[in-house]
Structure 1
């Protein structure tokens, strides 16, 4: 967001000749009648806002022309010390808030430009700058031809970065929990860009052996599913697991490295068990251990599915 600290609270008298025309959000330029009206007002006009780096006027072109008509040599200025893109956003924000109102076309064109320069901004944040509704911003974004208008995250009006896809945020939180089990909910939420309450829900779902992404959110994941579900990925048929493991054990890149040997031992210890085999095991489990063992089994399954997704991603990136 445009920082208020970049706008000087103090004013300075600056020669009119030192100033440059605005990068204005007004498509039709300045209104001559409004300039004349300001020139005839017999009171000091508010200070204009100027981008210090370029000396371009950010807000106050009508007042600038009115000062010329009055025959003034100087004008009161507040300086903005941010970047050029942020200077334009400030111009939109200030012009939308006071003075001669921006037209709907002015606001829409300005919003399209902000979407292109700040694609990570949320629809509501851009709406607050342009004076349009967030639904209008969403429509402008959909119609944007620039590839930069598409981003995986959005910065909201509170300055927090949130995933564009709620499912992605939950999956990122799950990965943080897996890699850093000691992390607090606040830390997880900050890394994943989700609310603390959402991070708490993800942790509870994982504790219960459930998918960290509720079924109603999976339609946005582009085919990715949560770790407890297990469907949708490519998999080896159960009756071929033994043969596949034998081939992996003969692979020199696995046999002769520490990581490879460790992985082969883990795979060998967790081979797929048939339904009948599991039923024989289930029949011998004491009742007081069932809940704990179920939680441990789900945690192991989630850990393996996380590993599967990570190596699939690594494989796609290196292809």
Structure 2
């Protein structure tokens, strides 16, 4: 769930006196961009409407447009009002500046995430990340080091507006009991009843089948795993989910090379298509990190949603071709 830009766009556009507006409180730490300003001054036609926080008359989105209008000798500018608290106005300002126009610099987005983590401690890392255009893991790092956000919360509000507990232990145990008592229940039914995600429900099912503990032992949050520098894991991405099972996960490239030598896959159209899809996931972590670091902020939300949808498709694929499904059929 992101700020309601559609509701904002339904607000009427009106002419505002520039002299009545305040330009303070921008999320841009370094101020305006001269090149972008010159481009707007030289542009023909009317400037898009700005957004103003009605209670304070502070410009939420449109500082460059204000300066461009003044350079043109104009005293009024078209704009919409935003009604809400100062914190809500800041969130809207960040969202608008990340999603379109001149993107915020990475330092600006990190500082914005820091402020939002303090003002909205109940928001999940993914929800803060969706607003600020940075990764959820970066938000988690920021949340841990920002003063005032260290107190543990029982739950957080996700992007979809649903409240989810941070500690899923009780939900995992309930899910395990439900699956044992009624094996015909689907993962989504179990997840809904136990207030956990379908992916967590799938992990619980895998643990039941393997005889592992339903609640995994967690590494302390401050402890860095082997291969981690500066809080970021630089090992190749582990894109094959092991479900935290005790047995080691085989090297991805080795497994895929073995599959590529299988005639049953190599010499059929379906098999070749599958091998091409699997080969995409043998990239090293630095390539994935480069994509994360260079993804345009205004595309981040759409790409993240697509990634989650594709992850669900792969998870469903795994559940349908897995050994337990084969045995059931």
Q: Which bin holds the TM-score, normalised by the shorter protein?
A: 0.5 to 0.7
* 3-state SS of 2:216 partner: helix
In 2 relative to 1, CA 19–147 (structure 1 residues): closer, same or farther, beyond 3 Å? same
Mapping of 1:78-89 within 5 angstroms?
Answer: 78-89=80-91
In 2 relative to 1, CA 67–150 (structure 1 residues): closer, same or farther, beyond 3 Å? farther
Please point out which of 44, 47, 51 is paired with 2:46.
44
Alpha-carbon distance in structure 1 between the residues aligned to 2:199 and 2:139: 28
In 2 relative to 1, CA 72–158 (structure 1 residues): closer, same or farther, beyond 3 Å? same
Following TM superposition, where does structure 1 have runs of at least 4 consecutive aligned residues deviating by more than 6 angstroms?
171-174, 185-192, 196-202
Q: Output the TM-score relative to the length of structure 1.
A: 0.55
Please point out which of 140, 144, 147 is paired with 2:146.
144
| Aligned residue number for residue 19 of structure 1 | 21
**Cα contact 1:161–1:193 (8 A) shared by 2:** no
Alpha-carbon distance in structure 1 between the residues aligned to 2:195 and 2:98: 30
Deviates more, 1:79-88 or 1:5-14: 5-14
Q: Output the TM-score relative to the length of structure 2.
A: 0.53
Please point out which of 25, 35, 53 is paired with 1:33.
35
Mapping of 1:1-319 within 5 angstroms?
Answer: 2-4=3-5, 6-9=7-10, 10-147=12-149, 150-170=152-172, 193-195=195-197, 214-216=214-216
* 3-state SS of 1:139 partner: helix
Q: Deviations over 1:18-75 (max 9, x none)?
A: 2111421111111233223211212211111111121111111000111111111111
**Cα contact 2:172–2:215 (8 A) shared by 1:** no
- In angstroms, what is the RMSD of aligned CA positions? 3.6
Following TM superposition, by how much is the alpha carbon of 1:170 offset from its aligned partner in structure 2, in angstroms?
4.7
**Cα contact 2:153–2:166 (8 A) shared by 1:** yes
In 2 relative to 1, CA 6–83 (structure 1 residues): closer, same or farther, beyond 3 Å? farther
In 2 relative to 1, CA 57–149 (structure 1 residues): closer, same or farther, beyond 3 Å? farther
Higher relative contact order (Cα pairs below 8 Å, separated by 6+ residues): 2
Alpha-carbon distance in structure 2 between the residues aligned to 1:218 and 1:34: 48
Number of equivalent positions: 211
Alpha-carbon distance in structure 2 between the residues aligned to 1:71 and 1:191: 62
| Aligned residue number for residue 288 of structure 2 | none
Alpha-carbon distance in structure 2 between the residues aligned to 1:11 and 1:158: 29
Structure 1: gaps (5+ residues): 175-184, 203-209, 221-319
